[in-house]
Amino acid sequence: MDNTLYVGLSRQMTLRRQLDIAANNMANVDTAGFKVEKLMLQTDPLSPSGVGAGSLLGPVKYVIDDGVARDFGQGGLERTGATYDVAIEGDGFFTVQTKDGPRFTRDGRFTVDAQNRLVTKAGDPVVDASGSGVTLDPQSSPPAIGKDGAVTQTDIHGQVNKVGKLSAVRFANLSGLKKEGDNLYSSPETPVAANDANIRQGMVERSNVSPMLEITSLIDITRAYERITQMMASNQDLSKSAVERLGRAA
């Protein structure tokens, strides 16, 4: 009889976790380059089966979460016009050299530091596939960034000079990426250059969270939670009245 309660509890626990993930998606609805996440559920493979072989009782199946899936779909590109805003159109990540090693990001809101290097807002240099950064020439025009990521500046004599390159990299196994916070990912895998991804200057990739879907899933989660709670409550009533009736017969 108590199995109903335990099955209900396993669902309640996964629902709470689903809500946590939906809450994180919604908190990051305005975070550049954020990728929406969803909890994946499955039947707990360790669920105990019914008593005895050939028993009429089926196995009790609990629910368990076995992973978080990320949708790496393109977020909307918003035109900001800022010189150091860049977005990737297509698959790929920018590489950032942090003190903990290379990190990958879709958030291309860069800036320059006091040494005139192209850096993230945290001050970590942005590097290309081969690991070299971009240092700008302060005497020349603001940098122009081509679709292929080439960073060029026009000097005072009208000469166009290439000062560096931004490149997009990609991974064979996207689900192996680990989120590190600060819009950064880490990966145990060595990335390869993604030459078919376009780099767009003056654009920012918005979060790909769809508010409509999130609100719907929010309603889903609350209702499912209420339903399962209701079911647990009626199960309680059932066992209570069973005890009362059986008690009376004796």
Of the pair 28, 193, the CB lying nearest other proteins is at 28
Query: Is residue 242 within the footprint of other proteins (CB under 8 A)?
Result: no
Give me the residue label for tokens 């990737």.
88
Distances (CA, A) of 54 to 47, 59, 60, 139, 221: 17, 11, 15, 84, 36
Q: Residues 67, 73, 76, 90: which binds other proteins (CB under 8 A)?
A: 67
> Judged by CB under 8 A, does residue 107 bind other proteins?
yes
Task: Judge contact between 148 and 199, C-beta under 8 A.
Answer: yes
Q: How far is the CB of 28 from other proteins (least distance, A)?
A: 5
Both tokens of 151, joined, read 């960073």
Among 100, 113, 148, 196, binds other proteins (CB under 8 A): 113
Q: Which neighbouring-strand residues pair with 119?
A: 111, 125
SS3 of residue 169 by DSSP: strand
Binding residue for other proteins (CB under 8 A) from 63, 150, 194, 232? 232
Q: How far apart are CA 84 and CA 168, in angstroms?
A: 16
Q: Cβ of residue 185: shortest distance to other proteins, in angstroms?
A: 10
CA 190/CA 170 separation, integer angstroms = 9
Site for other proteins in 136-165 (CB under 8 A): 136, 138-142, 156
4 binds other proteins (CB under 8 A): no
Cβ at position 250, least distance to other proteins in Å: 25
Residue 188 engages other proteins in binding (rule: CB under 8 A):
yes
Which parts of 190-209 interact with other proteins (CB under 8 A)?
Answer: none
